[in-house]
């Protein structure tokens, strides 16, 4: 999947997709299943914004039972199964534990009923899924068993615990890129670092787009009669540039998770609620041996490239975690990385997340025919939403010609390596070179953060950055620029570089 601009410009496309996050990539994949010639344009790197910054959980929708939203529950269960089936080594079951204190809904009897209903309504959740990825039934356990699973649990008034199973996608960026690679092998041309600036029309009908290569600042025109704006937090801004503003397309909020340099508290993901009024639940999951915690939502003013919560908000989050688990004693110095991105809110100025995707046909609002805008909500259902969008925009042409299967690869071929990796490993070096030559890598962070898992360990990545640049054959100026770019990314994301770590500050 090389970044071949000359070849891309020479073609006419059935559909142009703008945006290379999970929703754009799923649109590309579903278009490929329909035999469509597809162009995907992403202004940065594929999957580099909100899609990269989740807690890496593929939710089955247990929480939707609380509001009896059975439609969303069914959708989530089905799409979780899609990931478990198609990416059996990259998506795995994860056991979740909620300590119960007989407060609100956190009661043994209520959770027993909820878990049984969850299992009953998702009775086909394991159909066609590998045995090792089957999701077991939920159960309520004793306080003593909770203490065994979660030794640091707050035992004050502890009455038991609820256990259920969900999906975990530890390396979601690898899954996204595998889907994109598969689409590219079946009729899709993906180009990263291409920003769409205008839509080309004739008699109010879309004829293509004008896009700029952000690496050279050269402008290109790409031809298609169908354009879908799927740019996540930028969807409203782009819709305004191409036609007009739609306030309901994206109302801004920030969501974030934090990876801490402390050992995971359990081999289970933990649902905990701070013992204070109007507290919200947090999810603390094991991730590569570390503690990964979230998700916190907060109102946000508008779109920006790297949205980062305020120091006060981060401290409040850490205080909540310490209040929930008195022995934890987290500080900001424990932060490895803040994973934050913008999500659509129900209303501007609130932290309540939207519940439904929005699809806008611009021709219904005096815009050009063939221009559509999409705003999605959650990673889990991105493929299903892509299917819905194509059914809407294609009409009779929406029937799938085939189900495209994903190739089976080893962890190393995927680019998945241990957290404490070693560049002396010849296989690792070989994978790096292969990906550089074939996977549209423009910058060092493309490789470290989104083609492999090497960047999950920031200090290790920074210490080895110069040697990796040498593998690419980059000159001194390019190498220094790329290392500075990578370092700035990590520092912006909350990394505190300590004197004894060997990295120049």
**What is the mean pLDDT of the segment spanning 332-360?**
94
List pLDDT tens digits, range 94-127: 999 999 998 888 899 999 999 999 999 999 999 9
How far, in Å, CA of 336 to CA of 496, rounded? 8
Tokens encoding 495: 């990394």
404 pLDDT higher than 90: no
pLDDT level of residue 396 (50, 70, 90 thresholds) = low
Class of domain 5-51+173-250+355-398: alpha beta
List pLDDT tens digits, range 129-185: 999 999 999 999 999 999 999 999 999 999 999 999 999 999 999 999 999 999 999
Q: Which residues contact 213 (CB under 8 A, 6 or more apart)?
A: 5, 193, 194, 219, 220
Kindly state the percentage of the chain with pLDDT values over 70.
Answer: 99
- Contact, 370 vs 206, CB < 8 A? yes
Question: What number of other Cβ atoms are within 10 A of residue 476's Cβ?
Answer: 9
φ/ψ (deg, to 5) at 236: -70, -45
- Using alpha carbons, list the distances in angstroms from residue 137 to 50, 119, 134: 31, 6, 10
Instruction: Return the domain boundaries, the chain.
Output: 5-51+173-250+355-398, 92-167+251-344, 411-501
pLDDT level of residue 67 (50, 70, 90 thresholds) = confident
DSSP string covering 427-491, please? Answer: HHHHHHHHHHHHS---SHHIIIIIISSGGGSHHHHHHHHHHHHHHHT--HHHHHHHHHHHHHHHH
SS (H, E, C) 171-199: CHHHHHHHHHHHHHCCCEEEEECEEEEEE
Q: Residue 272, SS3?
A: strand
Give me the count of residues in the chain: 505
Q: Which residues contact 150 (CB under 8 A, 6 or more apart)?
A: 97, 99, 161, 265, 266, 268, 270
- Contact, 61 vs 77, CB < 8 A? yes
- Contact, 139 vs 163, CB < 8 A? yes
Place of tokens 């092998």: 185
Pairing of strands 12-13, 15-18: unpaired
Q: Which residues contact 133 (CB under 8 A, 6 or more apart)?
A: 84, 85, 88, 91, 92, 93, 126
- Using alpha carbons, list the distances in angstroms from residue 217 to 43, 193, 477, 479: 12, 10, 20, 21
How far, in Å, CA of 276 to CA of 234, rounded? 36
pLDDT recorded at residue 500: 65
List pLDDT tens digits, range 207-237: 999 999 999 999 999 999 999 999 999 999 9
**Structure-model confidence comparison of residues 445 and 103, the more confident one:** 445
How far, in Å, CA of 432 to CA of 426, rounded? 10
Q: In the chain, how many H helices and how many E strands?
A: 14, 19
Class of domain 92-167+251-344: alpha beta
Which of 117, 133, 17 minimizes the C-alpha distance to 68?
A: 117
Q: How many CA atoms lie within 13 A of 105 on its CB side?
A: 16
Q: Which residues contact 87 (CB under 8 A, 6 or more apart)?
A: 169, 175, 178, 406
pLDDT level of residue 407 (50, 70, 90 thresholds) = confident
Q: What is the model's pTM?
A: 0.95
How far, in Å, CA of 388 to CA of 386, rounded? 5
φ/ψ (deg, to 5) at 72: -65, -35
pLDDT recorded at residue 400: 76
């Amino acid at each position: 999947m090389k970044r071949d601009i000359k070849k891309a410009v020479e073609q006419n496309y059935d559909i142009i997709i703008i945006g290379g996050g999970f929703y754009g990539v799923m649109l590309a994949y579903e278009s490929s299943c329909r035999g469509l010639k597809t162009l995907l344009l992403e202004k940065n790197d594929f999957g580099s914004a909100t899609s990269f910054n989740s807690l890496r959980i593929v939710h089955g929708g247990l929480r939707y039972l609380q509001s009896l939203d059975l439609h969303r529950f069914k959708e989530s269960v089905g799409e979780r199964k899609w990931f478990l089936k198609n990416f059996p080594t990259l998506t795995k079951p994860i056991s979740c534990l909620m300590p119960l204190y007989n407060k609100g809904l956190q009661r043994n009897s209520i959770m027993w009923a909820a878990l049984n209903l969850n299992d009953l309504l998702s009775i086909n959740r394991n159909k066609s899924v590998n045995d090792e990825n089957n999701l077991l039934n939920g159960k309520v356990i004793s306080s003593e068993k909770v203490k065994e699973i979660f030794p640091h649990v707050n035992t004050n008034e502890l009455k038991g615990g609820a256990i259920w199973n969900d999906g975990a996608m530890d390396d979601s960026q690898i899954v996204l890129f595998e889907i994109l690679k598969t689409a590219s092998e079946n009729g899709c041309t993906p180009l990263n670092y291409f920003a769409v600036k205008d839509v080309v029309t004739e008699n109010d009908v879309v004829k293509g787009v004008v896009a700029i290569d952000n690496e050279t600042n050269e402008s290109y025109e790409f031809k298609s009669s169908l354009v879908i704006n799927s740019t996540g937090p930028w969807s409203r801004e782009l819709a305004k540039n191409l036609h007009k503003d739609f306030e309901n397309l994206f109302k801004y909020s920030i969501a974030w998770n934090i990876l801490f340099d402390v050992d995971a508290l359990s081999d289970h993901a933990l649902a905990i609620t701070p013992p204070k009024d109007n507290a919200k639940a947090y999810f603390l999951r094991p991730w590569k041996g570390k503690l990964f915690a979230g998700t916190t939502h907060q109102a946000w003013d508008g779109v920006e490239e790297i949205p980062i919560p305020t120091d006060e908000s981060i401290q409040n989050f850490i205080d909540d975690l310490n209040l929930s688990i008195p022995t934890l004693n987290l500080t900001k110095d424990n932060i490895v990385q803040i994973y934050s991105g913008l999500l659509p809110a129900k209303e501007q100025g609130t932290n309540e997340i939207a519940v439904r995707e929005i699809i806008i046909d611009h021709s219904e609002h005096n815009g050009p025919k063939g221009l559509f805008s999409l705003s999605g909500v959650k990673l889990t259902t991105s493929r299903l939403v892509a299917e819905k969008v194509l059914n809407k925009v294609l009409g009779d042409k929406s029937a799938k010609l085939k189900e495209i299967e994903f190739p089976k690869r080893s962890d190393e071929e995927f680019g998945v390596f241990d957290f404490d990796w070693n560049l002396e490993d010849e296989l690792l070096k070989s994978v790096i070179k292969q990906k550089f030559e074939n996977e549209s890598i423009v910058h060092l962070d493309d490789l470290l953060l989104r083609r492999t898992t090497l960047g999950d360990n920031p200090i290790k990545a920074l210490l080895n950055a110069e040697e990796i640049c040498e593998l690419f054959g980059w000159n001194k100026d390019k190498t220094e620029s790329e290392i500075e770019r990578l370092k700035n990314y990590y520092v912006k994301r909350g990394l505190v570089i300590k004197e004894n770590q060997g990295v120049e500050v």
